[in-house]
A and B are shown apart, each in its own frame.
Chain A
Amino acid sequence: MMKNSKYILAGLSAFCLLLIAATSINSSFLEPLRTGVGYVLVPLQSGVNAVGTGLYNAIRNYSSLAEAQQENARLNARLAELTEENNRLQAEVYELDRLRELYALDQEYMQYDKVAARVIAKDSGNWFHVFRIDKGSGDGIREDMNVMAGGGLVGVVTDVGDNYATVRAIIDDDSNVSGMSLRTGDTCNVSGDLTLYQEGRLGLDHVKREADIQEGDKIVTSHISDIFLPGILIGYASELTVDANNVTRSGTIIPVADFDNLQEVLVITQLKDGGEADAQNPG
Chain B
Amino acid sequence: MAAKKYVCKVCGYVHEGNDAPSVCPLCKAGASEFEAVKAPKKGLDTNSDIYAILYSVVVVVIVAFLLAGVSSALKPKQEANIELDKKKQILASLNIKNQADAAAVYADVIKADPIVNVEGKEVAAEGGFAVANDAINDTNLPMYVAEVDGAKKYIIPMTGNGLWGGIWGYLALNDDCNTIYGVYFSHASETPGLGAEIASDKFQSRFPGRQVYRDGNVALTIVKKVADEAVEVNAISGATITCNGVNDMLQRKLAPYKAYLDAQAPVVEAAPAEEAAAIVEPATADAEAQEKVEE
> Do A and B assemble together?
no
- Using CB atoms and an 8 Å cutoff, list the residues of chain A in contact with chain B: none
